């Protein structure tokens, strides 16, 4: 049998390539595509860029392809160029992406998002400020009137705003379910709306949604309850959190553990543990796998499966994260941009079996 021939390494064990079953859904391996904004939509609609971009990760046999942050309302977009899922027309436009990925035997999920006070900004290659109202931008909303850095100040959300945002998450989850998505990931990280509610740096409300940890968790937990009520029982629900603001006095890993315990009790099946994004004063200790210890701590102390993300680039490193029990899956972003077929290469390097697309089988032979 030639090196690299499928089956050559049969019998060798890789934890990274062990399937993961949650509820009625099986992910074929534990190397997942982390959400990546593409800033390539007009009016929130998916197009051929999204099909090719996300489709390539399915040809590359990732265990789960997660969409970029897909906005549940127009005002929840990070930029005017974000993908959205707030109408049936949006669902129709993104349907070919879901179908293609799933036809490859690869699980697909949407990252449902609302950017709150960090909405209405330029795509990174166009600028780093708020897009002014009247120039394609809009009035943002947030838990309080505190702005993020030099961005335009948000309007503090009223009870009606909260109900509207909650209902938008529900409607987007229903559309995702109807499209056949295997999972949805609630975006509670990176300083976007839910993280803004969680962190005392961005949430200075004096009603039942601000102040104590219990109050700051209230809105995100309500969203979990509302989404879980419509999301099919046999499909897993994921949430991405920022484990810490990396700012003294801010959101931290201890509060994250409490929140994740509550989230798991309400039907979140796996927490994807990232960090930062809520305060420009953040001082991040960055390095290979720098957020893995947070995933390990949440898994251990909150008793919920986790995904680890952040500067995981090498197959042996990814294998170690899963094999050591620090996390149940790894999510990679930039490594997939460099090599959409990272998983096929990882299987070869780790001596694991992976089912190549028949069209690409010749690539398995040296």
Ligand X SMILES: Cc1cc2nc3c(=O)[nH]c(=O)nc-3n(C[C@H](O)[C@H](O)[C@H](O)COP(=O)(O)O)c2cc1C
What is the distance of C-alpha 153 from the center of its chain? 26
Asked if 360 and 16 touch (Cβ cutoff 8 Å), the reply is: no
274 binds ligand X (CB under 6 A): yes
Does 242 participate in binding ligand X (rule CB under 6 A)? no
Rg (the chain; Cα; Å): 20
The token pair at 92 is 């129709």
Q: How far from 37 is each of 27, 84, 223, CA to CA, in Å?
A: 23, 11, 22
For ligand X, the closer of residues 156 and 329 by Cβ is 329
Token pair for residue 236?
């897993």
Q: Are 176 and 85 in contact (CB under 8 A)?
A: yes
Dihedral sign, Cα of residue 71, residue 77, residue 82, residue 86? positive
If binding is defined by CB under 6 A, does position 16 make contact with ligand X? no
Q: Of these, 20, 65, 69, 296, which contacts ligand X (CB under 6 A)? A: 69
Q: State the DSSP H helix or E strand holding residue 335, giving kind and residue range, or none if neither.
A: helix 334-338
Q: Is 310 in the site for ligand X (CB under 6 A)?
A: yes
Q: Which residue out of 192, 209, 290, 360 is catalytically annotated? A: 192
Q: How far apart are CA 67 and CA 46, in angstroms?
A: 11
**CA gap 347, 350 in Å, rounded:** 5
Which residue of 9, 14, 34, 41 would you call a contact of ligand X, by CB under 6 A? 34
Q: Is 192 a catalytic residue?
A: yes
**Site string (157-196) toward ligand X, x via CB under 6 A:** ------------------------------x-xx------
**73 Cβ neighbours under 8 A, 6+ residues apart:** 84, 86, 114, 164, 165, 168
Which of residues 194 and 201 has its CB atom nearest to ligand X in the complex? 194
Rounded distance, CA 55 to CA 242, Å? Answer: 27
- For residue 115, the minimal CB distance to ligand X (Å) is 10
37 sits near ligand X (criterion: CB under 6 A): yes
Q: Counting contacts by CB under 6 A, is residue 240 touching ligand X?
A: yes
Query: Shortest approach of ligand X to residue 67 CB, angstroms?
Result: 8
**Distance of closest approach, residue 6 Cβ to ligand X, in angstroms:** 27
Query: Of 56-64, 133-141, 245-253, 304-312, which part binds ligand X (CB under 6 A)?
Result: 304-312
Site for ligand X contains 273 (CB under 6 A): no
Q: Is 36 in the site for ligand X (CB under 6 A)?
A: yes
**Residue 335 contacts ligand X per CB under 6 A:** yes
Interface pick for ligand X out of 293, 333, 357, 363 (rule CB under 6 A): 333
Of 30, 25, 123, nearest in space to 321 by CA: 30
As annotated, the active-site residues are 192
- Binding residues for ligand X (CB under 6 A): 34-37, 68-69, 111, 187, 189-190, 240, 274, 309-312, 332-335
């Amino acid at each position: 049998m030639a090196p690299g021939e499928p089956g050559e390494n049969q019998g060798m064990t890789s934890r990274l390539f062990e399937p993961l079953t949650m509820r009625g859904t099986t992910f074929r391996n534990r190397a997942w595509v982390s959400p990546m904004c593409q800033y390539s939509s007009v009016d929130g609609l998916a197009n051929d860029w999204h099909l090719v971009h996300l489709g390539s990760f399915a040809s590359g046999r990732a265990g789960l392809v997660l969409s970029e942050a897909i906005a549940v309302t127009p005002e929840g977009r990070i930029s005017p160029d974000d993908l959205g899922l707030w109408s049936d027309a949006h669902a129709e436009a993104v349907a070919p992406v879901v179908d293609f990925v799933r036809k490859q035997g690869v699980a697909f999920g949407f990252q449902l998002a609302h950017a709150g006070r960090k909405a209405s900004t330029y795509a990174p290659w166009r600028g780093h400020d708020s897009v002014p109202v009247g120039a394609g931008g809009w009035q943002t909303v947030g838990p309080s009137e505190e702005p993020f850095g030099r961005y335009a100040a948000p309007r503090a959300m009223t009870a009606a705003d909260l109900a509207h945002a909650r209902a938008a998450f529900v409607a987007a989850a229903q559309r995702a379910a109807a499209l056949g998505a295997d999972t949805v990931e609630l975006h509670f990280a990176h300083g976007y709306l839910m993280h803004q509610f969680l962190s005392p740096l961005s949430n200075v409300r004096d009603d039942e949604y601000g102040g104590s940890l219990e109050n700051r968790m209230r809105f995100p937990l309500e969203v979990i309850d509302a989404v879980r009520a419509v999301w099919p029982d046999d499909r897993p629900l994921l949430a991405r959190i920022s484990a810490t603001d990396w700012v003294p006095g801010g959101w931290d890993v201890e509060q994250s553990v409490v929140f994740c315990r509550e989230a798991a009790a309400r039907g979140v099946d796996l927490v994807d543990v990232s960090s930062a994004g809520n305060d420009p004063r953040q001082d991040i200790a960055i390095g290979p796998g720098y957020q893995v210890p947070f995933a390990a701590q949440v898994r251990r102390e909150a008793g919920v499966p986790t995904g680890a993300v952040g500067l995981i680039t090498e197959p042996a490193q990814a294998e170690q994260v899963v094999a050591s029990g620090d996390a149940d899956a790894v999510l990679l972003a930039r490594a997939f941009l460099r090599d959409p077929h990272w998983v096929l290469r990882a299987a070869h390097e780790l001596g694991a079996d992976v089912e190549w697309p028949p069209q690409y089988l010749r690539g398995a032979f040296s």
